Amino acid sequence: MIKIEHLVQKYGDLRAVDDVSLDIANGEIVGLLGPNGAGKTTAMKVLTCFLPPTEGEVSVDDLDVEQDSLAVRERIGYLPENNPLYSDMTVRETLDFVADVRRLNGSNRGRRLRYTVEACGLEGMLNRPVGELSKGYRQRVGLAQAILHDPPVLVLDEPTSGLDPNQIVEIRNLIRELGKEKTVILSTHIMQEVQATCSRVVIIHQGKIVADGTNEELQAQLEGQDRYSIEFRAPGDNIATEFKSSLGIDIYDDVSTPGAGSYHYILQIEKDRDERERIFRLMVDHGWTLLELQREQVSLEDVFRELTTKS
């Protein structure tokens, strides 16, 4: 459904997207992850015909985004990060306006309007001005305008931003339902969002794709190492140095809470190297008080940090 070949997008001398190639099949829900400035939004702008590609080819449903831009836009529902809505229109007027723009007529128009209002939970808001809605309801209206014309491709940038936990679950369920017959690209910074919704994850860093696969496939990349969480009380200021020199174990992350009176480290150790007994002996020998020692499961967040903190 979506084919990207050697896409390069430049802003002056900056290569915001740097030789990206990607195929996305119909019915896939793909999570697009990356730190700020990684190139996610730029890639979405090219895909949705906001920007022509500097180099490379991009097609949607075998239609080129440059040569067939209007036909491509007819096939895409887009919810940008900054939800563009007219604040003086009511919700009903907004959806009617979008239906006019999308040239929905006859019985299909009424059917799509009814479905969209119900799916996005807007029944009680139709006569309210958009400017008076909470951020969560404005986000629902933005999603409604994206799906109103029943496009085969949805491009959603932070679709659950501003929603409460119950609304988030509802929108996630809707996205999963839509993904049964549509192609969905979902950009978010929330790892739980990707794990709960997406069938595939693409991580972008510095304009390049650094990982592409299912949640399980990406987590397997770090399965050669174990992570341990250890929290303990100890006197002195150079505890990290003492800890590392005594055990020869690197501290992957220091998550100690200032003023808590304890140290909390995340350790990364080779998988077949069980260091729990040595850690315990170190605590005993130094008179330190062990509060917690547990093995942690590698998460998608671990994979993300590992891949996007490299220069």
Query: Where are the domains positioned within the chain?
Result: 2-220, 224-308
pLDDT at 130: 96
Model confidence band, residue 310 (pLDDT cutoffs 50, 70, 90): low
pLDDT tens-place string over residues 208-263? 999 999 887 887 766 656 778 999 998 877 788 888 888 888 787 888 888 778 89
Average pLDDT over residues 275-298: 88
pLDDT tens-place string over residues 91-105? 999 999 999 999 999
107: Cβ–Cβ under 8 A, 6 or more apart, which residues? Answer: none
Using alpha carbons, select from 274, 263, 191 the residue that is nearest to residue 225.
274
DSSP, collapsed to helix, strand or coil, labels residue 105 as coil
Using alpha carbons, select from 82, 104, 188, 91 the residue that is nearest to residue 149.
104
Structure tokens at 62: 């075998």
Cα 93 to chain centroid, rounded = 31
Q: Rounded distance, CA 77 to CA 74, Å?
A: 8
Is the dihedral angle over the CA atoms 160, 163, 166, 170 positive or is it negative?
negative
Q: Which CATH architecture has domain 2-220?
A: 3-Layer(aba) Sandwich (3.40)
Query: How is residue 288 annotated by DSSP?
Result: -
Does the pLDDT value for residue 189 go beyond 80?
no
The better pLDDT of the pair 235, 51 is held by 51
139: Cβ–Cβ under 8 A, 6 or more apart, which residues? Answer: 83, 159, 160, 161, 162, 163
The answer to whether the CB of 280 falls within 8 A of the CB of 293 is yes
Range 224-308 has CATH code 3.30.70.1150: yes
